[in-house]
Amino acid sequence: MISIKSTREIELMKATSALAAKTLEYIEPFVVPGVSTEEINRLCHEFITKHGAYPSPLNYHGFPKSVCTSLNEVICHGIPNKNEILKDGDILNIDVTTYLNKFHGDTNKTFLVGNVSPEIKKLVDVTYQCMRAGIETVVPGGHIGDIGAAIQEIARANGYSVVEDYCGHGIGREFHEAPQVVHVGKRGTGPEMKPGMTFTIEPMINLGLKEGKLLKDGWTVVTRDKKWSAQFEHTILVTPTGHEILTLRSEETA
């Protein structure tokens, strides 16, 4: 069952999503060489709780921290750690999910740390383009498979691979709801998009092969070939005429 949010529920989704977006804006100046991912976790936790919300990842199926921090070859679900210090040329994805007034908002961004090589910068740029192309397909009467089809075309045209083991998801009163939003697919397949649906689009794009491997900590997913991976995520509302990005940051165009 895919939930359709009421007008009031949409207001609450907008509030929690805006706070998640604000958290990414707030943390940006701290994502510099010399800072630990634990410090980034602490600052995000403080910002989210100061605004009356709870960081959804904390204790979610036992996840030990308030945000996910995924560095370089980490595909997703990296755990903040005081011994993990950012260095020049790294890329760090920070994934923020807020729980405010009973609703979750979920967004992530891959940050460049200092001077990043052109090859890796291109991976990050194309990953953002992939997410935006997926978002562009969202319209009532469209199908969830349209999203993955658009993403996969751009990734493959650039010689990258799309992670298939983790996907986007419906979001609302639950962190992860139906439908699953796979980042590869065929146009016209999957559930039909209807006004009032809210879901994330969060492609993970790899420089090398798509396969990941779960580390012994039970959370961190790294690429099998150790090549680097990037991701962006937005929470999207299907509107009567198209869509709205609920986690839009001021640096972005609507």
Using CB under 5 A as the binding rule, whether residue 137 contacts Co ion is answered as no
Listed residue (181, 39, 22) closest to 105, CA to CA = 22
From residue 187 to residue 226, what is the string marking binding to ligand MF3 with x (rule CB under 6 A)? Answer: -------------x-x----------------x-------
106 binds ligand MF3 per the rule CB under 6 A? yes
Whether the CB-CB separation of 95 and 105 falls below 8 Å is answered with no
The minimum distance between CB 29 and ligand MF3, in angstroms, equals: 22
DSSP secondary structure letter of residue 228: -
Asked if 177 interacts with Co ion (CB under 5 A), we say no
Distances (CA, A) of 249 to 2, 24, 88, 117, 226: 27, 8, 25, 25, 31
Per-residue x/- track, 233-252, Co ion (CB under 5 A): x-------------------
x-marked contacts with ligand MF3 along 111-150 as a string, rule CB under 6 A? ----------------------------------------
Q: Which entry of ligand MF3, Co ion, none binds 77, CB below 5 to 8 A by partner kind? A: ligand MF3
Query: Which of residues 49 and 89 has its CB atom nearest to ligand MF3 in the complex?
Result: 49
Q: Which amino acid is at 213?
A: K
Tell which phi-psi region holds residue 218, choosing left (phi > 0), alpha (psi between -120 and 50) or beta. Answer: left
Q: What is the DSSP letter of 212?
A: E
Q: What gap in Å lies between CA 53 and CA 236, rounded to an integer? A: 20
Q: Quick one: which of 251, 252, 211 has its CA closest to 229?
A: 211
Nearer to ligand MF3, 121 or 176 (CB): 176
Nearer to Co ion, 120 or 236 (CB): 236
If one asks whether residue 97 binds ligand MF3 (CB under 6 A), the answer comes out as yes
Do residues 20 and 98 lie in contact, with contact meaning Cβ atoms separated by under 8 Å?
Answer: yes
Which helix H or strand E contains 232, and what residues bound it?
none
Q: Which stretch binds Co ion (CB under 5 A): 57-65, 85-93, 217-225, 228-236?
A: 228-236
Nearest distance from residue 174's CB to ligand MF3, in Å?
Answer: 11
CB of 95 to ligand MF3, least distance (A): 4
Strands across the sheet with 161-162, in order? 161-162, 204-206, 229-231
Binding site for ligand MF3 (CB under 6 A): 57, 60-61, 63, 68, 77, 95, 97, 106, 200, 202, 219, 233
